[in-house]
Amino acid sequence: MASRIGFNHGSHFLLDGREVRITRVISGNLVTLEDVISLVVYQHPVEQLLAWWTCGRITPKAPLHHDAGHAERPSLTVFLSNFSQTLSDKALRKKRYLDTLMAWKDKVVFSANKLKPILTEIAQQLGDEHPPSPSSVYRWWQAFACRGEAPLSLIDRTAHQGWFGCRFPEEVQEHLIDLIEHRYLEPPGCSVVDIRDALQVRLSQLNGLRPLDGQLKLPSYDTVRRAIKSYPAYEHAVAKYGKQEASIRFRTSMFSPKTKHILEVAEIDHTPVDLFIVDENTMLPLGRPTLTLLIDRKSKMILGVYVSFGGPSTEAVFKCLRHAILPKDYLRERYPRVEGAWPCYGLIQTLVCDNGLEFHSKALEQACFELGIVLQFCPKRKPYFKGMVERAFRSIANGFFHAQKGTSLSNWMERHGYDPLKTAVATFDEFMYALHIWIVDVYSVRFHRGLNRPPLGVWQDGVHDNPPQLPDLHVLDVALMEYQERVLWHRRPPILSSTEH
């Protein structure tokens, strides 16, 4: 893992080649440095240290190692509230009968003749019009006593009951199951009427070989429908929509994995911008650029962006990573109308991405190895495993792209005669200016429902608890370059791009 620099108490690094350590951090902004050899004390703001790191005056002394603790997962407990209200009400009814029976004035003998009048009297006290039978109460008491009077022992185990309720001979059931599994649950599928008609044909063939008193009866339409409904809904969806669509429809809908601190996990992806860009000289449409975005999973802050007309590529990933790691100290000079600050910088620990070719490139794998970043790939065709960046794309599209002239909208069928090429007015520089304003002054400070506060506030708290760390600037420059091999000819040297060496 590459060496890292943190501007927090106890950190060591080299300033102009001399080893210094941070002895005190005042108000999170003023840092006290002490020269390890001469013991001379200095005080500088964090902004000054960031500027020195950018120009190469601050370099790491040695790599830092952190031991991550492992939190124990709480054990899962099943409560009565985990079941449906109907099952809970039935269990409470059983418990009331057993409690009243155990507190009965006379000794209770579990026989039908002596227990039936007692249950009738208890039912009148409880206002139950349909008292249970003595055999049912005996089963309740036996299950309740054998399981240590656990409340769950009185829950009806409906999932362990028989098949779909068909009382027809086993031969009829086997043919019905075969038709359901090989015709109804197989593409393109069929209707319940088709299954019943096919079953009638099969039974007619079987009855031709059976005596008159042993004829097989055809199940009713409702019986066939109940048999089909007894199969899981997932299998129905597979037959109707295919396995991929069924897996999406029945995926587990839960919260994303929790992170402990900022920059622990970040998600990256590309998306076409729903906005047409025009040439600043001719004002002719150039097309829709591609946006590469990196977002922090803990704070929901956008760490870095990169926009180009080159499409998804390793170069776009490198430029976005570099923009995310470096401090955003260019805002005041390049975009003076941006009112807020973009305080995001530092190395991330885990990079979550999909299975695009640019993410599986050897150059990205080597860069992450040199910077100490762990690459984590989502399963194929399952974008919801990095739902944070997908949701950020929708927020940018709805809150920024679709409100501009020349927007292409998310679906071309929503245009209804609207031509974005005729209304496009934004040049590339104007688009980048507006994008920075929206990220810094709108998204970062807007209330986030998932966080119950703005993302900027969560980031600031995270910086206080776990300050970001920076790599060696030279290591960063070398790591985020794409390696290419060229054959030297006697005619002319090979041409390399700005990101190749």
| 3-state per-residue secondary structure call for 176-210 | HHHHHHHHHCCCCCCCHHHHHHHHHHHHHHHHCCC
Judge whether 101 and 40 are in contact, CB under 8 Å: no
Judge whether 172 and 203 are in contact, CB under 8 Å: yes
Evaluate if residue 78 carries a pLDDT over 80: no
Evaluate if residue 261 carries a pLDDT over 70: yes
pLDDT in tens, 285-317: 899 999 999 999 999 999 999 999 998 999 999
Q: Is the dihedral of CA 94, 97, 102, 108 positive or negative?
A: negative
Q: What is the dihedral of CA 477, 481, 484, 488, to 10 degrees?
A: -30
Nearest to 346 by CA among 371, 315, 314, 317: 371
Helix axes 221-229, 170-179, angle to 10 degrees: 60
CA distance 252 to 237: 15
Q: Which of 125-129, 336-340, 347-351, 424-428 has the lowest mean pLDDT?
A: 125-129
pLDDT in tens, 14-72: 988 889 999 988 887 898 989 988 888 888 998 888 989 888 898 887 544 334 333 33
Share of the chain above pLDDT 90, in %: 29
Judge whether 427 and 279 are in contact, CB under 8 Å: yes
pLDDT in tens, 216-260: 889 899 988 988 888 888 888 887 777 777 877 777 665 667 888
The pLDDT of 465-480, averaged and rounded, is 89
Judge whether 271 and 293 are in contact, CB under 8 Å: yes
Q: 441 burial class (0-12, 13-18, 19+ CB within 10 angstroms)?
A: middle
* Greater pLDDT, 415 or 253: 415
Q: What is the H or E stretch that residue 96 is in?
A: helix 85-102
CA distance 386 to 396: 16
pLDDT (0 to 100) of residue 403 = 83
**pTM of the prediction?**
0.60
* Greater pLDDT, 294 or 116: 294
Phi, psi of 407 (to 5 degrees): -70, 140
pLDDT (0 to 100) of residue 324 = 94
